Structure 1
Amino acid sequence: MPKIVLIEDEIQLAENTKIILEINGFNCFVANRGQEGIDLIASINPNLVICDINLDEIDGYEILRQIRSNPLFLNLPFVFLTARADFVDKRRGMNAGADDFLTKPFNAKVLIETIQARLAMSSQKKESVGIEIKKNAIDVFYHVSNHEYLTPLNGIINLSEIALDMVRNKQTSDIESLLEGIYSSGNRMLRTTRKLLWYNQLSNSVNPWKNVLGANSQINAIKFLHEIVDSVTKSSLKIFDINIKSNVTYLYGYDENLIQIMFTELIQNIVNFADHNRKVYINARFENDFLVLIIRNHYLDNYTITTEDIKPFYQAHNPKDMNGTGLGLYIVKEWIELISGGFEVKGENQLFDVIIKIPVSL
């Protein structure tokens, strides 16, 4: 049922309009004051807003300005309801981003037709945006796949060719470094392939935890984390100073492989993109039956990122042109949300925080 916010200070008109909307299959939420309407829109995320222009304290134009300043409501259908709809008012409203006007008094038929038309246009717009997003994702995936597969594949082929020549010529004294390079390139391809498989799982609504819920397992979370840090940083050419502080001991009922994947992706993110000349802080603690893990580090470049930015293949869109698929943090975020946990990312002025919350016991 479509949700509509009606902002109208004439109480009787608001009540009558609410009845008309609900009879016609809409779920109507009413606010009689401007700020109340702004708060209501933010809390329920409606499909459409009907707003009177002449309100006390905050008028309709200011409400529209504040709503349009929020990226979440940039395309929210917004219809002005007013007793005066001359050319000047309409121009001002349209310049502010209004979609339509209804002039008081109005009849029920016009009201419903206007709403239906605006909802239909909004649906078409979302569909067009969805098609464009899919097209961009395909383009980005092609770019990422080429880089993330061809680079290590070239390494494997070229290093293998050199190693074969050395073996044929019985010059094997320095072959160990070549084999390490081949092994490293193969692991990079394996990580990329696994991420794409996990992403495909999520895209098809497959819950990776479904077979382990209630399992009788016990994981020493911090010992596990130390081992992953040692393993990931050992394979890196950079030297990291990672300080782990914790009062956490065990997690219960989890699949060890999934926890390893999540922790590894978080640490790998640091190794790939953080400034290795700055210390990395990892704090883990118990909080209301949750493990709270806070990772703080400094990125090499200065840009802003929020939790909302963590989307499939986002990394490839980054203007700093970092390597990677951009799927690592997205997969961790989605997996955590599937077990009613919390995931938050904050990045600004080179300081980057990742905060996760997962239940101590599944």
Structure 2
Amino acid sequence: MTPKIVLIEDDLLLAENTKTILELNGFECEVAHQGQLGVELVKSVQPDLVVCDIMLDEVDGFEVLKRIRAIQEFIHLPFIFLTARADFLDKRKGMNLGADDFLTKPFMSKDLVETIRARLLMSNQKKESVGLEIKKNAVDVFYNISSHEYLTPLNGIVNLSKMAVSMIQNNQVEEALPLLEGISISGNRILRTTRKLLWYNQLSNHDNPWRNSTSGIVHILKLQKQIVESLKKGTTAPFEFNIRSNINVLYGYDEVLLEFVLTEIFQNIIQYANPSYKVYADTRLENNYLVLIIRNHYSGNYQVSSQDIKPFYQAHNPKDMNGTGLGLFIIQEWVKTVHGQMEVLGQNNLFEVIMKIPVSI
């Protein structure tokens, strides 16, 4: 993959020459001639590295770096300053703000290219190291929670099966039906957990788990109501659910996959909901997008935002939580594949998920 560079330079001739040098050496390069435009360009392009002049009009290079570092996903983005003077105070200020390197104008093409390549190499090595650590932590964490996510429903299946068989043998078919329903609920729970682990494994290996999904028409309101009724049977916690919708149909979606997505969202909402309050799901049509807003008043005391949704999040933050912590992460990744958006916010005992996906794909 060709490395992407954002160059922020207000000298138009120097910017054009530098862009040419970078492209001749195998980089993609996007240019901004003002500081704030550079920040916006970084947000949209999501580059592998930024090269930025210090002396810019209005918003200087130091402020550009400060604004970029304030964005969670760009905390470790490699950042190289260009400066017309090798001033120690400038360098110290830049380093304190998180700059990775400095190049003094005028610079040689060779120095620019070698500095960028060195910083990209260091960044990639750091990412690989962090990735290995995350995977190791994920495995360790899942060992700790697997007894709850697998053994609990498996024990339920085994014990309920024995009781159901005994009842049926004694012609107590009616009495056995609730046990069979319990077996189905436990089996579906294991199926959802297994799917999440398989999909997470594919995502970790940069493979799209949903590339071969089937497509068709999904009656979204009907599906939501079915999911809520199913979840009510699987929990002992009482809750009231208020579903509102002005859209009924989606086109081009895999109903089984969409059922998984909605079940995971509703399950997260219901699991920690304060039973004294209703749970709300508002589905609306906005500019050919379905927008699902679902919220609850939750029990416990924790905060969460979209930036916190990472693999095994719940297992690392066990306050009032259980589960793999994979569900919302996987949904977030799926939403990206259909060019949608998702936001999560939990604070002041209010939890809200907003999912925006195209009506037709």
Q: Give the alignment's TM-score, normalised by structure 2.
A: 0.83
Match for residue 68 of structure 1? 69
Which SS does the other structure have where 2:102 is aligned?
strand
Instruction: Tell me the amino acid that sits aligned with residue 58 of structure 1.
Output: V
Please give the residue correspondences for 1:198-277 in structure 2 after superposition, counting only pairs within 5 Å.
198-200=199-201, 202=203, 205-208=207-210, 210-213=212-215, 215=216, 218-277=217-276
Please give the residue correspondences for 1:1-362 in structure 2 after superposition, counting only pairs within 5 Å.
1-154=2-155, 185-200=186-201, 202=203, 205-208=207-210, 210-213=212-215, 215=216, 218-362=217-361
Contact map agreement 1:225 1:263 (CA 8 A) in 2:
yes
| Structure 2 CA distance for partners of 1:15 and 1:235, relative to 1, 3 Å | closer
Q: Structure 1 stretch 251-260 or stretch 179-188: which is displaced more?
A: 179-188
Cα distance between partner residues in 2 of 1:297 and 1:64: 38
Cα distance between partner residues in 1 of 2:256 and 2:32: 50
After TM superposition, give the deviation of residue 295 of structure 1 in Å: 1.1
Q: Structure 1 stretch 303-312 or stretch 316-325: which is displaced more?
A: 303-312
Instruction: Tell me the amino acid that sits aligned with residue 238 of structure 2.
Output: I
Instruction: Tell me the amino acid that sits aligned with residue 38 of structure 2.
Output: G
| Structure 2 CA distance for partners of 1:208 and 1:126, relative to 1, 3 Å | closer
Which SS does the other structure have where 1:282 is aligned?
strand
Give a deviation string over 1:23-64, Cα, whole Å, max 9, x none: 222233333332232222222222222222233333322222
Contact map agreement 1:233 1:271 (CA 8 A) in 2:
no
Cα distance between partner residues in 2 of 1:321 and 1:196: 22
Which SS does the other structure have where 1:284 is aligned?
strand
| Structure 2 CA distance for partners of 1:281 and 1:64, relative to 1, 3 Å | same
Q: Structure 1 stretch 284-293 or stretch 319-328: which is displaced more?
A: 284-293
Cα distance between partner residues in 1 of 2:41 and 2:253: 39
Contact map agreement 1:341 1:356 (CA 8 A) in 2:
yes
| Structure 2 CA distance for partners of 1:53 and 1:276, relative to 1, 3 Å | same
Give a deviation string over 1:205-247, Cα, whole Å, max 9, x none: 355463523x4xx543323322221221133111111111122
Cα distance between partner residues in 2 of 1:361 and 1:57: 44
Instruction: Tell me the amino acid that sits aligned with residue 236 of structure 1.
Output: T
Give a deviation string over 1:58-83, Cα, whole Å, max 9, x none: 33222222222222211111122222
Cα distance between partner residues in 1 of 2:26 and 2:283: 49
Give a deviation string over 1:293-337, Cα, whole Å, max 9, x none: 221212223433333433332221224151111222233333344
Contact map agreement 1:236 1:271 (CA 8 A) in 2:
no
| Structure 2 CA distance for partners of 1:59 and 1:153, relative to 1, 3 Å | same
Q: Give the alignment's TM-score, normalised by structure 1.
A: 0.83
Q: Structure 1 stretch 30-39 or stretch 114-123: which is displaced more?
A: 30-39
Cα distance between partner residues in 2 of 1:190 and 1:350: 30
Cα distance between partner residues in 2 of 1:250 and 1:105: 61
Which SS does the other structure have where 1:237 is aligned?
coil
Which SS does the other structure have where 1:296 is aligned?
strand
| Structure 2 CA distance for partners of 1:358 and 1:160, relative to 1, 3 Å | same
- Say how many residue pairs are matched: 353
Cα distance between partner residues in 1 of 2:86 and 2:277: 60
